[in-house]
Amino acid sequence: MKKLLSTILLAVIVGAVQAKTYRIIKAPEVTGCVNISQGELKVREVIMRDTATTVLFTMEYPKGMNFVLAKNGYLMDEEGNQYFLHSAEGVALDVGILSPENGQTDFTMHFDPMPKKVQVFDFIEGDVSGAFMVLGIHDKNAKMPAPKGDAIYEELVKTYPYALPEEWFKTDSVTVRGRIEDYDPEQSGFTQMTLFDWDISMKHPERKVINITPNGSFEKTFMINYPRLLTIQNAKINIDELIPYYAIPNDVNDITVKKNEQGEYEYIYNNGSSKDVERWLKLTYMFYPFSLSNGNVAQANILTERLWQNMMLRLRTAIRHNQFTPLEVNLALCNAQVNIAFSFLDYIMIHKFDVVKQEERDGRRYTVILDSAEWAAINEPKSYPILQRINFDNPMLMAAGNYPILVNRIQYADYVRSRQIPMNAQLNVSVKDANDFLMNGYAAMRELMGTDHDNLMAQICTYQNMLNFFDSWREYEGYLSDIIPLYQASFTHPYVRLKAEQFYADKMAQQAFSSPLPDTPAAQLIRSLSERYPGRMLFIDFWGTGCGPCRAAIQDSKNLRAEIAKRDDVKLIFIAGERTEEGSNAYKKYVDEWLADEDTICLTNEEFARMQELFGFSGIPFYVTITPDCHLVRDDLKIRSYNSFNEDIQRLKEKLK
């Protein structure tokens, strides 16, 4: 026994000698915290031993709310080397953690040992979309190394050259098909999936419904104009809720969805373009947009630089480890560029509300500047260096899943809009105003993106403006023939010009004021509503309890809707999507409070998706007008909102006479 105790004591002494502490960083500085919108993850101390690197964290999170820390977290040094998590104290991993009364959770994590030479490193909570990150952890007395993100980018482009196919822009069909193994419609609780599609030639993103047969097979064919990342989703299949696949014109993708040993769904690409780039598709989580923490524009730029460095380091490691092809490397680089630019512009969009506010005086809305220095920074081209490093003439950027959203962010950037429409000015519909709007927009985008010409991105943003304004222009006789040529002349890129010409031709071919609905289950529901209210037009409001603009429109229109209810020529219908047809308690409570006297319909989310496919919309609120004979009213003639209800319905009735 005595000998045994001596042996144990000796082992402890030897272990203590072996676990040599060679560096302690107290209260280290960090570049920033990422992807924690309601709190902050702080590093209190770093202890570097030859057996482990220990990091003491504090999670500041609103009391009573849950957060999750993944078990596959790691540290990454400035060269991209990863040091994986071994254990944690003070928190459980991969389960919900309830933030305490004081909103602070202290915990410790132990990672692989980092070499003594490491001066700066990042904490990556896990390889999942939206993972918590603390970037640029370093001793405040140490000199931060210069970011190497651009150098890595150039290295990858040079090492993996890829020539874009001549027929990149080609309109043709694409088919996605596959099978869910061991599928049971009753046990699974779903009979369809949806596909989110946003071609830049579309005015709005669209959802396409993919039906699942009783044996688990599915198939969907639709038209596309160029290669791009698309996603299939169903919240009841836990594959990060998304199945990414790479769609190219004239292609068939076959995908198998099955459960792994852990009982979680995973997907296998069997053939087609997705099989060719499956390594990239399996790692798309690395290139999702980041949620930047609060801070001023200068701080956000520093954090964005660190994010770019982080993305390039992780990408280079993934490329080498997974042996990416040149096509996969270039797709990944485009995805990274699109999402880092989107992340920064999204930050600017949110940060603006810390800088300015809107006030109404004498019936007009005015912008009041709260922080003139920050407002000046938002309106300064040099505040957008990340945009000025991207080649927006590269069509391959369009393959990134979030490219259309980046288009939207640049199109509506305050820097651009404030030059198209000066602060507190009104945009009048005239040829001169339209031309000024067009030219000022191009000039602002050239400055924002640091280019001397109207690049492909700028032309796509302008094309989207044309789509948005077209219905308003069409109200004024003669305007289209003067305004449309101005826009078409500005489209020097062949693809944008072709789509603009096709759009105009298709719109002008629509001579009828309304069109019949197709023969689908969703359309049949609309027909039954029309039969319920014979002789009336239907104004259908697609909404949801989780949609702030939906609730605001409903609540602001309470008095107007009371007047509309007295009419015998129109009926308001409110359709929402919920998990069940009965609706959640929140839905029932809201309806009782605000829509008690209205005709409300609660659909399952699957049924609501069919409505989205029928009417070609994704976001809400969305309004549809149906004629008394159950035809869909043309976009430029439909009732656009509650605010313009009386004028819109009067105009429509005159047209329908």
pLDDT band at 14 (very low <50, low <70, confident <90, very high): very low
Tokens for 392?
A: 């927006």
Distance CA 245, CA 177 (A): 11
pLDDT by residue (tens digit) across 171-192?
999 999 999 998 888 887 788 8
What is Dmax (Cα atoms) for the chain?
106
HSE-up (13 A, CA, CB side) for residue 139: 14
- Which pLDDT does position 477 carry in this prediction? 66
pLDDT value at 650 more than 90: no
Rounded to the nearest 5 percent, the helix, strand and coil shares of the chain are: 40, 25, 35
Instruction: Kindly calculate the radius of gyration of the chain based on its CA atoms and give it in whole angstroms.
Output: 28
Burial classification of residue 299, based on how many CB atoms lie within 10 Å of its CB (0-12 exposed, 13-18 middle, 19 or more buried)? middle
Q: What pLDDT shows up at residue 428?
A: 55
CA distance 413 to 406: 10
Q: In what order do the strands lie in the sheet with 120-124?
A: 21-26, 40-49, 53-60, 104-111, 82-89, 74-77, 120-124, 133-138, 32-34
Beta-sheet pairing, 570-578 with 599-604: parallel
Q: Where are the alpha helices (DSSP H) in 246-286?
A: 272-276, 278-282
Task: Give the per-residue pLDDT at 512.
Answer: 85
Give 361-375 pLDDT, tens digit per residue: 877 777 888 999 999
Contact 281/293 with Cβ under 8 angstroms? no
Distance (Å, rounded) from C-alpha 328 to C-alpha 230? Answer: 15
Comparing C-alpha atoms, which of 536, 537, 526, 495 is closest to residue 625? Answer: 537
- The whole-model pTM stands at 0.86
Pairing of strands 172-180, 217-224: antiparallel
Confidence tier at 12 by pLDDT (50, 70, 90):
very low
pLDDT score recorded for residue 241 = 55
Q: What is the pLDDT of residue 22?
A: 85
More confident residue, 387 or 482: 387
pLDDT band at 132 (very low <50, low <70, confident <90, very high): very high
Cβ pair 355, 373 in contact under 8 A: no
* CA proximity to 67, closest of 130, 140, 9: 130
- ∠ Cα 549 550 552 (to 5°): 60
Q: Determine the average pLDDT of the residues in 467-480.
A: 82
In 3D space, the residue among 590, 638, 633, 583 whose CA is nearest the CA of residue 607 turns out to be 583
Burial class (CB in 10 A: 0-12, 13-18, 19+), 326: middle
Pairing of strands 251-259, 172-180: parallel
249 pLDDT tier (thresholds 50, 70, 90): very high
Which carries the bigger pLDDT value, residue 333 or residue 510?
333
Cα–Cα–Cα angle for 290, 295, 299, nearest 5°? 85
Task: Say if CB 216 and CB 258 are below 8 A apart.
Answer: no
d(C-alpha 94, C-alpha 47), whole Å: 24
Average pLDDT over residues 116-131: 88
What pLDDT score does 242 carry?
Answer: 73
What proportion of the chain, given as a percentage, has pLDDT over 70? 94
Which run of H or of E encompasses 550? helix 548-556
pLDDT of residue 18: 60
Q: Which two three-digit tokens encode residue 151?
A: 């150098």
- Three-state DSSP at 229 gives strand
- Rounded Cα distance between 401 and 199, Å, is 10
Q: Token pair 């609780």 is at which residue?
A: 189
Q: Give the neighbor-by-neighbor strand order of the sheet with 172-180.
A: 217-224, 172-180, 251-259, 265-271
The phi and psi torsions of 36 (rounded to 5 degrees) equal -120, 90
Task: Determine the straight-line distance between the first and last CA of the chain, rounded to whole angstroms.
Answer: 105
Backbone φ and ψ of 92, nearest 5°: -95, 150
**Spatial contact of 233 and 274, defined as CB atoms under 8 Å apart:** no
Q: Residue 564 in contact with residue 598, Cβ under 8 Å?
A: no
Residue 319, Cβ neighbours under 10 Å: how many? Answer: 21
Asked if 38 and 65 count as a contact pair (C-beta separation under 8 A), the reply is: yes
| Residue 424: per-residue pLDDT | 45
pLDDT digits (tens, 9 = 90+) for 156-165: 999 999 999 9
**pLDDT tens figures, 432-442:** 888 889 999 99
Residue 1's pLDDT is 46
* Residue 592, helix vs strand vs coil: helix
Structure confidence at residue 619 (pLDDT): 86
Counting Cα atoms < 13 Å in the Cβ hemisphere of 356 gives 22
Q: Which two tokens stand for residue 41?
A: 């993850």
- Do 68 and 95 form a contact (C-beta atoms < 8 A)? yes
